[in-house]
Amino acid sequence: MSTDLTAVIAPIEQARGLPNAHYIDEATFDEESKAVLHASWAGLAVAADVPENGDAKPLEFLGLPLLLIRDKDGGVRVFQNTCRHRGMILVSEPRKIEGAIRCPYHSWCYSTKGKLVTTPHVGGPGMNTHEAIDKDTLGLIEIPSHIWRDVVFVNISGDAAPFEEIHADLIARWAEFDQPMYHGGDDSKFELGVNTNYKLAVENYCESYHLPWVHPGLNSYSRLEDHYNINEPGKYSGQGTLVYRQFEGAGGKRFPDFTGLSDKWDDGAEYITVYPNVLLGAQRDHAFAIVLEPQSVDRTVEHIHLYYAVPNVDDAMRLKNTAQWKEVFEEDIFVVEGMQRGRYGPGFDGGRFSPAMDGPTHCFHAWVAQRILDYRQSHSVAAQ
Ligand code: FES
Ligand SMILES: [Fe+2]
């Protein structure tokens, strides 16, 4: 189903949101996935998922079998989790690779850097080589990946411009935070499964308009008027607050700050979406990353990870902070699921934006629409 996207990229005063098909129609979502999730740098996981050398974790991204691994020299890589012999899945459970990645079918072995190293009996019993099997050309298929703020981004199509180039402005905006940050560990991550298209989670994250009604707790100290919109058309969007209240443990104890931050961050914090599917928070004393895993057109898993400026922050405070964020993110579930259900109403035309309040959402929609339009154009040219 081809959808008309010209109204989506119009100026916000006249624009409509993305048509319903982008939230409920499999074929439209399939096209959109290729244009948006495959062709850009999408968030897949975090590097902290594979903390030690040799750690390997199988993942699926839109049905694609992938393997996240930390190689023997500490580099994080993403491979297709598929043996080059007969296509067997190589790793089925998260585990540590001791030595080589051994295919469970006929025991071809790959190094943690993807090189095919042994092919037992490939030339007949007792013959471990064959002239037709050129190991140098049969390594694992590597997916281009890039790590920023611990998030592992992948470019499935393999032809996107470098991550640092595409996101140069955002990287510069948060350059002060370009310093070590430490995952809080098992108690500092959680998942939320939501019955919604991943874009609705992005849209809701980008805006502060809903604060008074959906987050009355947050709104009690960081009010609507304390927030500002962040709109960088074609690049990124989100929101900031001028009244960031630090988490306090017993006796008013606080988490240590990141080092050398400017005054802006004393009371300020920013929450930005790295298009298309990564939600980041930057604050003086801790950070978070939410990787949205789009499982289908109407199902998303949110993977939430919290980070600190130093390793091993106070256990009780860390636990409580995780619980506090979980409560906030859970408050958003009924709206992202409710908007998904609303999208089945055929009379809805994508909706009208508040020019004052919905800039970041419109910015995201226009970005998605432009990616799809570019994709359609390049494919219709290719088809001619
Ligand atoms: S399929 Fe992997 S070794 Fe045969
Ligand atoms: Fe929210």
Convert the pLDDT of each residue in 115-135 to its tens digit: 999 999 999 999 999 999 999
Nearest to 259 by CA among 235, 284, 288: 284
Would you call 305 helix, strand, or coil by DSSP? strand
The domain at 21-38+178-373 falls in which architecture?
Alpha-Beta Complex (3.90)
| 101 alpha carbon, closest ligand | 1
Using DSSP bridges, classify how beta strands 116-118 and 269-274 pair: parallel, antiparallel or unpaired. Answer: unpaired
pLDDT attached to residue 2: 54
Give helix 315-331 / helix 333-342 axis angle, nearest 10°: 20
Task: Please name the residues in contact with 123: beta carbons below 8 A apart, sequence gap of 6 or more.
Answer: 129, 130, 133
Is 198 close to ligand 1, i.e. is its CB under 6 Å away?
Answer: no
pLDDT attached to residue 48: 98
176: exposed, middle or buried (Cβ count in 10 Å: 0-12, 13-18, 19+): middle
pLDDT attached to residue 221: 83
Instruction: Identify the CATH class of 52-144.
Output: mainly beta
Q: Taking 60 as the threshold, does the pLDDT of residue 322 lie above it?
A: yes
**Which of 1 and 29 is assigned the larger pLDDT?**
29
**Interval between CA 43 and ligand 1 midpoint (Å):** 29
**Interval between CA 87 and ligand 1 midpoint (Å):** 6
Residue-range domain boundaries for the chain: 21-38+178-373, 52-144
Q: What percent of the chain has pLDDT over 90?
A: 95
Is 108 close to ligand 1, i.e. is its CB under 6 Å away?
Answer: yes
Residue 306 structure tokens: 């919290």
pLDDT attached to residue 382: 65
267: exposed, middle or buried (Cβ count in 10 Å: 0-12, 13-18, 19+): middle
8 Å CB contact between 237 and 230: yes
**Interval between CA 176 and ligand 2 midpoint (Å):** 26
pLDDT attached to residue 41: 98
Nearest to 122 by CA among 111, 110, 137, 132: 132
Measure the CA–CA gap between 91 and 109, rounded to whole angstroms.
12
Q: Average pLDDT, whole number, for the chain?
A: 96
Q: Taking 80 as the threshold, does the pLDDT of residue 7 lie above it?
A: yes
8 Å CB contact between 122 and 100: no
pTM of model > 0.85? yes
Q: What pLDDT, in 10s, does the model give residues 137-189?
A: 999 999 999 999 999 999 999 999 999 999 999 999 999 999 999 999 999 99
HSE (side-chain half, CA atoms, 13 Å) at 382: 6
pLDDT attached to residue 383: 62
**Interval between CA 140 and ligand 1 midpoint (Å):** 12
pLDDT attached to residue 92: 98
Q: Taking 80 as the threshold, does the pLDDT of residue 44 lie above it?
A: yes
Residue whose CA lies nearest to ligand 1 atom number 4 = 106
Cis peptide before 65 (omega within 30 of 0): no
8 Å CB contact between 242 and 265: no
- Provide the phi-psi class of 179: left if phi over 0, else alpha when psi is between -120 and 50, else beta: beta
Would you call 165 helix, strand, or coil by DSSP? helix
Is 86 close to ligand 1, i.e. is its CB under 6 Å away?
Answer: yes
8 Å CB contact between 79 and 143: yes
Q: What pLDDT, in 10s, does the model give residues 180-237?
A: 999 999 999 999 999 999 999 999 999 999 999 999 888 888 889 999 999 999 999 9
Ligand 1 atom index nearest CA of 108: 3
Residue 225 structure tokens: 């008027």
- Which of 296-315 are b and which e, b meaning 16 or more Cβ less than 10 Å from the residue's Cβ? ebbebebbbbbbbbeeebbe
Locate tokens 């598929």: which residue? 82
pLDDT attached to residue 220: 84
Q: What pLDDT, in 10s, does the model give residues 245-270?
A: 999 999 999 999 999 999 999 999 99
Measure the CA–CA gap between 18 and 7, rounded to whole angstroms.
8
**Interval between CA 239 and ligand 2 midpoint (Å):** 11
Q: Taking 70 as the threshold, does the pLDDT of residue 100 lie above it?
A: yes
Measure the CA–CA gap between 296 and 29, rounded to whole angstroms.
8
Residue 147 structure tokens: 């790590």
Nearest to 51 by CA among 68, 70, 38: 70
| 83 alpha carbon, closest ligand | 1
| 102 alpha carbon, closest ligand | 1
- Which of 96-127 are b and which e, b meaning 16 or more Cβ less than 10 Å from the residue's Cβ? ebeebbbbeeeebbbbbbbebeebeebeeeee
pLDDT attached to residue 219: 81
| 140 alpha carbon, closest ligand | 1
Q: What pLDDT, in 10s, does the model give residues 283-308?
A: 999 999 999 999 999 999 999 999 99
pLDDT attached to residue 90: 98
Ligand 1 atom index nearest CA of 119: 3
Would you call 369 helix, strand, or coil by DSSP? helix
Q: What pLDDT, in 10s, does the model give residues 75-93?
A: 999 999 999 999 999 999 9
Is 105 close to ligand 1, i.e. is its CB under 6 Å away?
Answer: yes
**Interval between CA 109 and ligand 1 midpoint (Å):** 9
**Interval between CA 78 and ligand 1 midpoint (Å):** 19
pLDDT attached to residue 46: 98
Is 118 close to ligand 1, i.e. is its CB under 6 Å away?
Answer: no
8 Å CB contact between 320 and 192: no
Which helix (H) or strand (E) element contains residue 198? Answer: helix 198-206
